[in-house]
Structure 1
Amino acid sequence: MAGRPIYLDYNATTPVDPEVVAAMVPSLEREFGNPSSTHAYGRPARAALEAARDRVAGLLHAGAGRIVFTGSGSEADALAIRGAVLANRRPGRRPHVITQATEHPAVLAACRDLEELHGAEIAVLPVGPDGLVDPLAVADAITDDTLLVTVMHANNETGTIQPIAEIAAAAHERGVLVHCDAAQSTGKIIVDVAELGVDLLTVVGHKMYAPKGISALYVRDGVALRPLVGGGGQEGGLRAGTENVPYAVGLGRAAEVAAAALEAGETRRLTALRDRLEAGLKARLPGWVHLNGHRTRRLPNTLNVRIDGMRALTLLDDVAVLAASAGSACHAGEDAPSPVLTAMGIPADEAMTAVRLSLGRWSTEAEVDAAAAAIAAAVPGRSVRR
């Protein structure tokens, strides 16, 4: 990315790691067989697919359970949410699902589909000013008809990390399944499905240096799902269609690289860069920069701030040397306040000033310092310290 704008939008998507590209080449060039075929071309493809599955399981510390490859995180979320409710609903009973207000739109859409198409009742719990949902509120919301709780691990806009282990414990006391969208947290912090206590967990390839178009769903042993797409029986009968072996291999290699990076201290490195960026902004714009989200329970790479009196879209348009987001990339370009921030009680006019700066594998101290200086210089009428 040398010679191009400073990239601080890793939560939107990541570059594909060169090691991931290299790992994919054999499946594109030589091992092109259908993994369902039993001949000499199909067997290597099947072996590569299963090795990739094992690597993703390894990153999640998933000693037991299945990894189901999907085409996107949105698909994985839908398979988990709709699949779990439709496979476990009780005759004559209205299924009940619990989620929370700052979920990713894919999760909320899957819940709406259950409500509109299958008569489910959806409870959307509020969050506090820091973006956290209260595990006690989850426990109180559970009824005899609750089949699933779905709460994201870390928010894609603010980075706030939810208390998933406590939520899962409360749900399991009542025999309720738990799904967790871990698209943003996987690869940035340790994600251990056993420690979290979840039954279903979503992983997204393009958030962790694999290509777009490949994701995965962890499914705990014994959890029944109804597939979204039926047919050939691939992916243990949960996703029909010939598997995308090269991209699955890429996700598997990305999982290996992420595990090694975490062990080498990537979380600490990202935290230091994030804090340096925040400090640089506050030093240059004293009193005008305000954090959105939890101060400590947040992703190490994510800084979401409001800058008084400066609309985020205007700021980002003016700072040509920087690539970042005004809120979630799923709503980029819309001149409207972020639903995540308004759910946290931030007034609409203040939410319009929020910018998300997210760091990644190739972020450097020099880039962070240059970004802070460029942002501060673009804010008119402020006391800017050079």
Structure 2
Amino acid sequence: MQPYWMTHFLLPDQEHAHAQAVGEALEQARESVAGLVGCESFEIVFTSGGTEANNLAILGLLTSPAHRNESPGHVLVSQLEHDSVTAAARSLEAAGIEVEMIPCEPEGVIDPDRVKSMLRDDTRLVCLQLANPVLGTIQPVREVADLCHNQGVRLHCDATQVFGKLSVDTTRLRADTIAISGHKFYGPKGIGAIYVRRGLHLSPIAYGEPREMGLRPGAENVPACIGMGAAANLASRCAGEVSDNFSELSARLLKGLQSSLSNEPILLAEDAPRIPNTLAIEMPREVSRIRRAARQLVFATAQSTEPPDEITRALKAIGRTDAQIGRTLRISLGWTTSRDQVDRAVGMLAEACG
């Protein structure tokens, strides 16, 4: 990224040889992201992150001029979605669009049959994430996409949690739009992208000098785009190896906790398909006490019950009580996590529980 802050600082569309070189580098980065996603480069639009990608997918579709003569319609949003999905959909209720939440099953997965029963003649969009960042559960996006397309309904998929952990094939997902976040696979923060299926028309949600296929005005954040492209290239090559390593380390962590604690911890959504690096574990003691005793260990816990934060919402969606939520922590493994670090984490948690 460094040369694009210092040496190659021109904008890619300026009439200058150096600017053309920047434009070529930007398109190479776009191709790298497309390779990670499994699509054509012209289907990738750079954004400021996953949040903007989710907003652009939802607002850009539902406010498209192609639908202005239609009734406001109906939108289905899964109970497990990120705030940027739920809030974007809710913002359109003032325009008459009805937003309905899809309940999830106790194992943290949406049932396609339930979605089928909730689809209506005026349903315009279904929002279903690929993997939940709290439970790690993988959702049946392809099955739901087939149901939606059979009725002429669009499907948006927030897939930000999966890239860099599992291989993703867009052609198999069949989603119309997909949100991508660069820092989820070790790219820079503040950069992301949206996959827009060829032939699908979205409206911009910000206005100005048209760039990024006319969907996003303003000068491109060239260094961040370059960095995201480099990270995407690495993630594409390492996905299989990384996934196997995550599975091994997750099993080691869980087995270590089970053998170290007299009251065995509970792995939530254990029988559901999950991304291999994310574990939501109910511990035998309140996690607030564990956090104080294991200060060197970084893990996530519920922070707010009203309004509920993302962890609280996900755990309540699968039926966990307030007491159970207070004993639950979420641990994520990274590319550089070692066996020694996993064993140290097990020791810290066991000591904290004792």
Q: Same fold by TM-score, threshold 0.5 exceeded?
A: yes
Structure 1 pair 353–276 and aligned structure 2 pair: CA distance change class (3 A): same
Report what 1:4 is aligned to: none
Check if 1:319 corresponds to 2:301: no
Which of 338, 344, 347 lines up with 1:373 in the alignment? 347
Alpha carbons 1:89, 1:147 under 8 Å: kept: no
What is the one-letter code of the residue matched to 2:343? D
| % identical equivalent positions | 36
Shift of 1:319: 0.4
Q: Which has the higher contact order (CA 8 A, sep 6+)?
A: 1
CA distance in 1, matches of 2:167, 2:149: 22
CA distance in 2, matches of 1:340, 1:301: 17
Structure 2 residue ranges without an equivalent (≥5): none
CA distance in 2, matches of 1:353, 1:273: 22
Report what 1:14 is aligned to: none
Q: Secondary structure at the match of 2:226?
A: helix
Shift of 1:41: 2.8
Check if 1:35 corresponds to 2:9: no
CA distance in 1, matches of 2:300, 2:112: 30
**How many pairs align?**
351
CA distance in 2, matches of 1:80, 1:313: 37
Check if 1:165 corresponds to 2:124: no
Deviations, residues 56-88 of structure 1 (Å, cap 9, x unaligned) = 000111137511111121111000011111114
Report what 2:257 is aligned to: 281
Check if 1:292 corresponds to 2:268: yes
TM-score (norm 2): 0.95
Shift of 1:92: 4.7
CA distance in 1, matches of 2:280, 2:140: 20
Equivalences for residues 74-223 of structure 1 within 5 A: 74-87=51-64, 88-116=66-94, 118-223=95-200
CA distance in 2, matches of 1:268, 1:92: 48
CA distance in 1, matches of 2:232, 2:271: 28
Report what 1:348 is aligned to: 322
Which of 231, 241, 248 lines up with 1:272 in the alignment? 248
What is the one-letter code of the residue matched to 2:280? N
Deviations, residues 43-64 of structure 1 (Å, cap 9, x unaligned) = 1111111111110000111137
Deviations, residues 237-269 of structure 1 (Å, cap 9, x unaligned) = 101010001000100010000011114x11011
Which of 273, 278, 290 lines up with 1:302 in the alignment? 278
Alpha carbons 2:31, 2:40 under 8 Å: kept: no
Question: Structure 1: which 4+ aligned runs deviate by more than 6 Å?
Answer: 334-337
CA distance in 1, matches of 2:247, 2:42: 31
Shift of 1:317: 2.6
Superposition RMSD in Å: 1.8
CA distance in 2, matches of 1:65, 1:313: 47
Shift of 1:187: 1.3
CA distance in 1, matches of 2:332, 2:342: 10
What is the one-letter code of the residue matched to 2:158? D
Equivalences for residues 247-262 of structure 1 within 5 A: 247-262=224-239
CA distance in 2, matches of 1:238, 1:151: 22
